[in-house]
Structure 1
Amino acid sequence: MFMKLKKLLHWGSNAKPDIDLRPELYEQFKAFRLPLILIQVFILIGTLGYLGLENYSLIQAFFQASYTFTNTGFGALNESNFGPLSILFTSFLTVSGVGITGFSVAFIISIINNGTLTRLIKEKKMVNKIARLRNHYVICYHNEYTIELSKQFRDAQIPFVVVDNRPDFDKEALKHKYPYYIIGDPHTNIAMLKTHLSSAKGIVTFSKTPSDNIALIVSVRLFEKELSRRPYYIISSADTEEDVEKLKKLGSDTVVSPTKLMAQRISAMAIRPDMENLLERFVYKKDTPLDLEEVIVPKYSWLVLHKLKEAHFREITKVSIIGITQKDGKYIPMPDGEAIIASEAKLLMIGTSNGIRETKRFITKKQKPKELDYV
């Protein structure tokens, strides 16, 4: 049961963060040393003073010094028989206690009000939570696109971490219900460690400044080489065709142009309103009876250099192939059964989620599936 819950939440077995924030946290606690040292020194002076001035045992002298310094009591021991020196010493210790205690309380309150310590404690908890994620997406820069994408990811149960460098980003993150978030510059190595990028599936960058997207893509690809891991899937956004081409050359797998997408959808609505309704029903919404997906045929697949009709997708998985994109970019719409499947071709298929999942399993096999013997 616990393993199923971990899989549902996309948690891994190793929850150790990629970065240790304890040194920064300990650095903040160093400020508490002065008040603590002053309190200990004066209680030590009081204890030694009462040992010398009165006929006290060590524990009695410590008790007398403690409640005199902190002004929490009087008369529990031998105060009524104090001599002049003991009275003067007690007065000195009482006044010192009031001053040092007041200074210590004010000093501690100022540190807490500064916010750095509280921020580090919250950030450490967040980093520990993020460290349990696996195959998540890191969404960089908070804006209207991030807000909408986070809703879609939550509905689809896709784990994600949002990163932004605005100081007040935590308020925005809580407002828009981001489950995991980090405040920092997304392209920095520290931010990548905090977001547990080493176990992420991909990264999405939504900055409206092209230079930010460029810096992030380059940084992620360098980080990827340092880890010697499989390539991240990088999705970025750009407003101009020039920026789209530039980001693709730098290593972005997919570049989305919001203006172009909006124009395409409006055009579809104007030309074919019924087609737009179909897209809304089957493509853009979740939990639909049909899915549309493009699947790459790997080099080792048994399907390479075979005819499409030999796969019998319609009979076995109830999936239809409505398009083939060859490796050279040539697109074949509505291919017939005689179409030859080349290595690394992309098959555009439509069917149920289970049907497409089974079709993927068929395609990725090295040997011809036994199910085809009974068709």
Structure 2
Amino acid sequence: MTPFRRVLTGAVLFLITIIVATAGYMVAGWTFLDAIYQVVITVFGVGFGEVNPITTPTLRLFTMLVIIGGTSSAVYAVGGIVQMITEGEINRALGVRRMLKAIETLENHTIICGFGRMGQILARELKDKQKPFVIVDNDAGRVVEAQEMSYLVISGNATDEEVLELAGIRRARYLATVLPDDAANVFITLTSRGMNPALSILARGEYPSTERKLRLAGANHVVLPATICAMRMSQMITHPASLDLLNHNDGSSTLNELLGNLDMQLDELRVSRGSALIGSFVKDLEVRGRGQVGRTYLIVALRRADGTLIMNPGSTVVLHEDDTVIVMGHRGDMPKLAEELSLKRQIRYRGAKL
């Protein structure tokens, strides 16, 4: 029987005992007030003397049954309440333990500090792309909300080093601090950079003046929501036709889907450890790729391991380990290009929905 069912059953039995006992004393000639008073002091074991003398064997036996029935039903109901509390705490403790175990197995994951509007959108996008992540938030309501969505979440302050350790910051690849408090974002960035120098940190800033502070604290990228919104509105005014083109199909098409209509695609190809391309030039990559694949493609950008982005890299730019080459070419050539050049093909590059 479930704990709730036990509480309900015990409460019903206790109520029945009170009603039957009161009626029994009234049958014995007692007034309603005397009868209910007698039942209360008897069931709860207060120890006061009887209202009226209980001298007959029948009345004494009835009183003993009232004591047994009332006490038993009350104990049964209280036991259900205790069971509910105990099982809830145990399940909660086991749930937290399972979650911490799952977090301990993560590597190259993302830590999201803050589960507000930006944090929720970011978590949803990472889940859709099947990218591992952990949420850190000190708001109990948001923690419960994240748990209900089956996200890995830690309840605590992201400025606390112990909390970041639980989130696996030393094994993480990215940290996104998206709190609406600039001071907190700066402090989290500073703390995280000290704990993991190789971490790529993305920080939110409410005011343009905060960008410099975040970068000094160690942020690789700073996102200013107000600036982005203003630029978006400006584009709507200055380039309405172009935006209409990119926003067709109710804005559901991504950049790659639009390029797909032209049989083109953007892909990210990483120069993995041990690759023969390490130390070579971009022009070497272009020559080898075109010679093997036999079709034209374009290197549009190069992202260094530290997050630095080089747009339209020159032919003499040197390739390093863990660099990511962003390539545009025919859709069917991308897998073959990655194979021929011994590059690790990462997730398909998707621009933000425009």
TM over 0.5: yes
- C-alpha displacement at 1:326, in angstroms? 10
Q: Partner residue of 1:158?
A: 131
Instruction: Name the SS of the counterpart of 1:171 in structure 2.
Output: helix
- C-alpha displacement at 1:207, in angstroms? 0.7
Matches within 5 A, 1:335-350: 339-342=315-318, 348-350=326-328
Asked if 1:266 corresponds to 2:238, the answer is: no
Inter-partner Cα distance in structure 2 for 1:192 and 1:122? 19
- 2:166 counterpart (194, 197, 216): 194
Inter-partner Cα distance in structure 2 for 1:114 and 1:301? 57
Residue type of the alignment partner of 1:130: I
Instruction: Name the SS of the counterpart of 2:327 in structure 1.
Output: strand
Change (3 A) 1:353 1:174: farther
Inter-partner Cα distance in structure 1 for 2:270 and 2:211? 23
Asked if 1:133 corresponds to 2:109, the answer is: no
Over residues 78-114 of structure 1, what are the superposed CA-to-partner deviations in whole Å (9 max), with x where a residue is unaligned?
xxxxxxxxxxxxxxxxx9xx89x969x6798299379
Q: Partner residue of 1:74?
A: none
- C-alpha displacement at 1:199, in angstroms? 3.0
Inter-partner Cα distance in structure 1 for 2:230 and 2:185? 23
- C-alpha displacement at 1:169, in angstroms? 2.5
Instruction: Name the SS of the counterpart of 2:170 in structure 1.
Output: helix
Change (3 A) 1:148 1:304: same
Over residues 158-212 of structure 1, what are the superposed CA-to-partner deviations in whole Å (9 max), with x where a residue is unaligned?
121211101223332145x242112111232332233233332211111111121
Aligned residues: 260
Inter-partner Cα distance in structure 2 for 1:163 and 1:285? 33
Inter-partner Cα distance in structure 2 for 1:309 and 1:114? 63
Instruction: Name the SS of the counterpart of 1:267 in structure 2.
Output: helix
Instruction: Name the SS of the counterpart of 1:168 in structure 2.
Output: helix
Asked if 1:316 corresponds to 2:293, the answer is: yes
- C-alpha displacement at 1:134, in angstroms? 3.0
Instruction: Name the SS of the counterpart of 1:196 in structure 2.
Output: coil
| Root mean square deviation of aligned Cα | 4.5
Inter-partner Cα distance in structure 2 for 1:199 and 1:330? 26
Inter-partner Cα distance in structure 2 for 1:295 and 1:173? 33
- 2:208 counterpart (221, 241, 247): 241
Inter-partner Cα distance in structure 2 for 1:215 and 1:326? 27
Long gaps (5+) in structure 2: 1-67, 344-354
Inter-partner Cα distance in structure 2 for 1:153 and 1:204? 12
8 Å Cα contact 1:297-1:304 kept in structure 2: no
Change (3 A) 1:342 1:128: closer
Inter-partner Cα distance in structure 2 for 1:113 and 1:286? 55
Over residues 260-304 of structure 1, what are the superposed CA-to-partner deviations in whole Å (9 max), with x where a residue is unaligned?
222333333333345433475343879966543677889963542
Change (3 A) 1:320 1:287: closer
Q: Partner residue of 1:205?
A: 177
Inter-partner Cα distance in structure 2 for 1:120 and 1:286? 48
Instruction: Name the SS of the counterpart of 2:143 in structure 1.
Output: helix
Asked if 1:182 corresponds to 2:154, the answer is: yes
Q: Partner residue of 2:38?
A: none
Asked if 1:256 corresponds to 2:223, the answer is: yes
Inter-partner Cα distance in structure 1 for 2:130 and 2:193? 26
Over residues 297-336 of structure 1, what are the superposed CA-to-partner deviations in whole Å (9 max), with x where a residue is unaligned?
8996354274775344497275632645799988559x8x
Inter-partner Cα distance in structure 1 for 2:297 and 2:312? 14
